[in-house]
Amino acid sequence: MAYSVDVYAAAKRVLEERRTAAERLLSLKKADVYAKIPEIKQLDSDLCKNMAALSVLILRGGKNLDCALEEMKAENEKIRQKKASLLLENNLPEDYLEPQYTCKNCGDLGRKNGILCSCYKEICKAEAQKELSKSSGASGCSFENFDLSYYADNGAEDGTNPRRKMNNYYNFCVTYAKTFTENSASIVMIGKTGLGKTHLSLSIAKIVADKGFGVVYAPAQKMVSNLERERFSGSASDVFQKKYSECDLLIIDDLGAEFQNSFSVSAIGNLINERLYENRPTIISTNLSGKELADRYSERIASRILGEYRKLFFVGEDIRFLKNR
Ligand X SMILES: Nc1ncnc2c1ncn2[C@@H]1O[C@H](COP(=O)(O)OP(=O)(O)OP(=O)(O)O)[C@@H](O)[C@H]1O
Binding site for Zn ion (CB under 5 A): 103, 105-106, 117, 119
Residue whose Cβ sits closest to ligand X: 196
Least distance to Zn ion, CB of residue 93, Å: 22
Q: Which stretch binds ligand X (CB under 6 A): 63-71, 139-147, 223-231, 288-296?
A: 139-147
The nearest distance, CB 118 to Zn ion, in angstroms, is 6
Applying CB under 6 A, which of residues 254, 256, 293, 297 lies at the interface with ligand X? 254
Nearest to 256 by CA among 204, 195, 196, 189: 189
197/296 with CB nearer ligand X: 197
Rule CB under 5 A: say whether 198 interacts with Mg ion: yes
Are β-strands 282-286 and 310-313 bridged in parallel, bridged antiparallel, or unpaired?
unpaired
Our CB check for ligand X shows the closer of 96 and 150 to be 150
Plot region of 281 (φ>0 → left; ψ -120 to 50 → alpha; else → beta): beta
- Does residue 203 belong to the site contacting Mg ion (CB under 5 A)? no
Give the DSSP per-residue string, 276-321: HHTT--EEEEES--HHHHHHHH-HHHHHHHHHHSEEEE--S--HHH
Nearest to 142 by CA among 133, 155, 154: 133
DSSP state of 322: H
Question: Residue 141 interacts with ligand X (CB under 6 A)?
Answer: yes
**Pick 164 or 197: Cβ nearer ligand X:** 197
| Pick 110 or 194: Cβ nearer ligand X | 194
Nearer to ligand X, 131 or 254 (CB): 254
State how far the Cα of 28 lies from the Cα of 16, in Å rounded to an integer. 18
Nearer CB in complex with ligand X: 146/263:
146
Q: What is the dihedral of CA 289, 290, 294, 299, to 10 degrees?
A: 180
Kindly give, in sequence order, each residue whose CB lies less than 8 Å from that of residue 42, ignoring residues fewer than 6 positions away.
none
CA distances from 67 to 49, 59, 63, 282 (A): 19, 15, 9, 62
Cβ at position 98, least distance to ligand X in Å: 50
For residues 121 and 1, is the Cβ–Cβ distance under 8 A?
Answer: yes
Of 52-60, 107-115, 138-146, 291-299, the window that binds ligand X (rule: CB under 6 A) is 138-146
Cβ 117 to Mg ion, closest distance in Å? 39
Q: In what order do the strands lie in the sheet with 215-219?
A: 215-219, 249-255, 282-286, 187-190, 310-313
Contact segment (CB under 5 A) with Mg ion among 50-58, 104-112, 164-172, 192-200 equals 192-200
Among the listed residues 19, 164, 165, 197, the single contact to ligand X using CB under 6 A: 197
Q: Which residues bind ligand X (CB under 6 A)?
A: 141, 145-147, 150, 193-199, 254, 285, 287, 319-320
